[in-house]
Every structure is written in C-alpha cells, then in structure tokens.
Chain A
Amino acid sequence: MDIIEVSIVGVGAFLAICMFTTLYGKSNPLYALAEESYIGFGTGLTIVINLLFIYKTGILGIQAGDWLLSFGIILGIMVLARIVPKYSYIARVPIAIAIGAQFGLALRTEIFTGFLDQIRSTIFPLLTGDAMTLLNRWTIALSVIFMLSFFFYTTELKGPLRWSARIGEYAMYVAFGGIFAQTFMGRLSLFVGFMQNYTVPPWKIPYLLGSLIIVFAAVIILDRAKLLEKLTPEE
C-alpha cells in the first residue's frame, strides 16, 4: 500500500461515515460536509467525462468526415442559450428534438419489450410439464387474472368478481411482502458491499474504526453542546 491508497481509504472512510450520521436523526455539519463533497465531486466528474464523450464521438467524428454530427454539436451549443434569459427560447429547439428522438426510440421498442413480450410470457401450456412447473404456471396465470380483476374500477365488484378481486388483493399483499424482503436484501447488500470495501484487506479496518469513533464522538459532543444545528450550513 502506498500513501495515495492510504489517503483514498482514509478520506473515503471518513466521508462515508459522515454520510451515515444522517441516521442520528438531526442535521449536522459532518453530514453536510460529506454531502457537499459528493455533489462537487460528482458534478466535476460528470462534466469531464461527458466533455470527453463529446470529443470522442462528436469532434473526432466530424474530423473523420461525418459532417452530420456537426448538427448535434450545434444543437448542443443551442442548449447553452438558457444561460442568457433574453435568448433562452433558443434552447427549446434542441430540447424538443431530443425529447422527440428519445420518445421515438423508446416507443418503437418499448411496445414489444415492455408490453407484448410480457403478455406473451404469461401465455404458456397449463397442462404439460412436471408438478412444480405446473404449480408455478397456474400460480402465475391465476394471479394475473385475480389481480387484474382487482383493478376493475368502472364495475361494481359483486358476486364472483368480488371474490376474484379479494383473492387478487391478498395475492398482491404476498407480492408486496416479497418486494419488501427483496428491497431489504438490496439495501443490505449495498451496505455490506461498502463495509467490505473498508475491511478487506484488513489493513483498512483501523481507518474504518477510527473514522467511526471520531465521527460518532464528534456528533454526540456537538449534540450535547447544542451545536449540531447551529453549525450546519443552511440549504
């Protein structure tokens, strides 16, 4: 490990633990410091990487003789007109073109991937296959029907329709439970991933524990001294 790696781990662990101080339940200057640092870093990185992208795809493309790309560059420059209020209307043209193109690209394809293919995937043989496959397929097929009947808003739900909607409602509760568990797993994975990054290899552990102790102690001391909110910069 060299000094650069150590400083990256040290600063990273400290700022990350500062971010976690939001769990303390009160706004505090350490969280604000970490938040502003992240915003600054993120913005800077995004600007540089995107400028590089424009250079590599746009400028190099024009130099290679693809003159059509110059329209893209001109449209991009027109967006900057938003900075000057008097000429801000010019920015509407490239934004309208971008939205239109994006809409066209998505609409042409989304209808298949997000709609038709999804319907097609719920249409399968319900009488062939082993017991487990049949159970899965029947569960999916019936759940789709029951849940759809729950969303009949223009008809009074009575008789068999009422029961169908009721079963659909309970099936949804089961699904919500599954999604909640999956979300917890996802959030926990993010947290475990972060912790792992600062515990493996073991030489990083003192930096993590040191940051934890320093930040935790600082927050408690500032809270006791009633300085937490006073020292937090206003949004």
Chain B
Amino acid sequence: MTEQKTEKRSIYRMLVEYDRRIIYLFIFVLILAPLMQPFSLPIQVSPGTMTYYNVLNGLKKDDVVLVVFDTEFSGYMEIQSGILASIKMMFEHEVKVAIAVAHPEATGIPQLVFDQLKGVMDQHHYIYGQNYINLGYIFPNSASVASTAQDFHSIVRQDAYGRSIEGTFLDNVNTWKDWTLISVYTTGIQSGSIINHYGLRGTPIIVNCIGVMISTQQPYLSSGIYKALLESMRGGAELEYLTSSPGPGLTAMNSFTLGHYMLIIAIILGNIGYFGYRSEMSRKAKEER
C-alpha cells in the first residue's frame, strides 16, 4: 500500500528532477515549427514603438542621419527586423544616410541591408555618395567617437571601400550639430560613448537594442537622452506592422509567443513539482516519526 502511494506521488519528483535537455528539445521544436509552417497570431503596438515610429516619420527630405551598427553578427540576427524597417523608412523619406560600424563582425551588415532594400533604394533613386554612404568600421573605441563628434573629417577620410569621402554629402557634416538624427542598433559596445559624446551635446538619438539590454537602456529614455527606444525583435515586428511591410520580425513573432508560453508552463510545472515534492517529503517524515 505504502509503495503504491510513493509510486503515485513520484510525479512531483519527476517534475523536480527531469532532464533539462527535454526543455531544450521542446524549445527547438517550438521555435522551428512556426518558422517552417507560418501562421498568424495577433500583434499589438506598444507606445514605445509608436514614439520611435513618430521620430522616423518626422524626418524630412535631405535630413542627414548617422546609422550606427553597434553589434556583433549574432546580435544582428535579433535586431535585423528593426534595422530593415527603420532604414526602409529613412529611404522612403529620402533622407541622406551614412552608415558607421562599431564592431569588426558588423562590417558585412551594411551590404546585407543594401541588398535587401534594393527595391526601395531604386524607387527613390538613391545614389551612392549623394544619398547614402557606407563608412565602415570607424568607431572602435570612445576616443574615435569623441573625435568624430568634434571634427568628423579629422579621422574619417575614406569610406568602407577605400574611396575618399570628399565630394559626398558628408562635406556638410563637420561636428555633432550637423546630424539630424543618430540611429543606433546596439548590443552595447559603443552605445555608451555615443550617449556621452553625441547625446549629451544634444544630437537626437534613437536606439534599437537587443532584449537583454532593455532594462539598462530605459533610464536613458526616461532622462531624455534617447528620443525613442525600439525593444529587440518584438519592437522590430511592431515597426514592420506600423509600416505595413511584413519582414523577419513579424514572421518570428509566432515562435516568440510559443517560446514564452513554454516558459510560463515550465515555471508552473516547476512550482507544482517543488511544492508537491516538499509536502510529500514532510508527510513522509511525519509518517516515519
């Protein structure tokens, strides 16, 4: 009889001591399945994304925007929806875009973006040097960020392909004052330096950061240094939704939602197992006494 009881209760023990690799396997399947067979779940736009959208929507033709890829390649995977949707908006508003890179791994990203947005660029007659430019890796440390804020041409003389930047739209850019907006896509490498040397002086900054950075970036939004903050891939999906241009963000949201359901279920099961097993043990101890 007692043995039977123990057998029955052992479900709690199983919930406490199960192999964690089962969770990894479930996450793999839950993420992969919706990507292979997409379906549609509802999405809501958060106020933060709306503010970000409004800042980009307020750009006027020939405004000069500095886009900074402050990310490793792994981070790009997470924020590519925000990057594509934001830069697409910039091209649609026909602003002049200079792309700077702050990590060696991000040096390949500008070309990926140009390739994916070729249609919009052709539609708005974007010409290299006149309307957009790829400056490459110019922000390896805070000293370089500080220098460009004071005298841009003192350290930036060539673009990413080794061509002189003389004669491009950057002739009119000399200090931090000459940028209409700085749009940073970050995993947190040089974002602090950009805040310190551009944001503090008054250049408007908007940021799209990876999920683990949101809580550390929020204070800069509250203090007004950031004009807007786009949160991770979710923010990117919301921006895609607002601009009616479905892309990687919206298609990833199903996997995202299922992953979160999985976590909630795991937390509930884990707690049931923990409390069930604890009460089982105390009951057992009482019986033994």
Contacts and interface: CB of A to CB of B under 8 A. Distances in A.
B226 to A, nearest CB: 11
A226 interface: no
Contacts of B212: 182-183, 186-187
B234 A189 contact: yes
A8 to B, nearest CB: 11
B189 to A, nearest CB: 13
Contact of A57 (B21, B80, B155): B155
B196 A193 contact: no
A60 B157 contact: yes
Interface residues of B, number: 63
Interface stretch (A76-84, A101-109, A146-154, A163-171): A101-109
Given A24-B21, A193-B78, A186 B211 contact: yes
B211 A182 contact: yes
A217 interface: no
Interface stretch (B89-97, B174-182, B254-262, B281-289): B254-262
A102 B143 contact: yes
Interface string A190-210: 111111110110100100000
A196 B142 contact: no
B49 interface: no
Contacts of B259: 188, 191-192
Nearest to B162: A56
A112 B20 CA distance: 45
A66 interface: yes
Interface string B250-289: 0110011001100100000000000000000000000000
Given A102-B143, A200-B35, A190 B214 contact: no
**Which of B138, B233, B251 counts the most A-chain CB atoms under 10 A from its CB?**
B233
Contacts of A182: 211-212, 214-215
Interface in B13-38: 20-21, 24, 27, 31-32, 35-36
Helix, strand, loop or mixed for chain A's interface?
A: helix
B21 A186 contact: no
Interface string B27-65: 100011001100000000000000000000000000000
Nearest to B108: A45
A120 interface: yes
Given A113-B196, A192-B255, A199-B36, A186 B77 contact: no
Interface stretch (B3-11, B117-125, B126-134, B217-225): B217-225
Given A57-B155, A102-B143, A200 B233 contact: no
Contacts of B225: 113, 117
Contacts of B24: 23
A42 B27 CA distance: 28
A49 B107 contact: yes
Interface string A111-148: 01100011011100000000000000000000000000
Nearest to A199: B35
A66 B151 CA distance: 13
A87 interface: no
Interface in B195-231: 195-197, 199-200, 210-215, 219-220, 222-225
**Which of B104, B157, B192 counts the most A-chain CB atoms under 10 A from its CB?**
B104
Contacts of B32: 195, 199
Given A186-B210, A193-B80, 7 more contacts: A45-B104, A49-B107, A110-B196, A117-B223, A122-B222, A189-B234, A191-B31
Interface of B: 20-21, 24, 27, 31-32, 35-36, 74-80, 104-105, 107, 136-138, 140-144, 146, 154-158, 162, 192-193, 195-197, 199-200, 210-215, 219-220, 222-225, 232-234, 248, 251-252, 255-256, 259-260, 263
12 contacts: A45-B104, A53-B140, A106-B142, A109-B200, A182-B212, A185-B260, A186-B211, A189-B211, A190-B77, A190-B210, A192-B35, A196-B77
Q: Which 6 A-B pairs have the closest CB atoms?
A: A186-B211, A193-B77, A109-B196, A186-B212, A121-B223, A49-B104
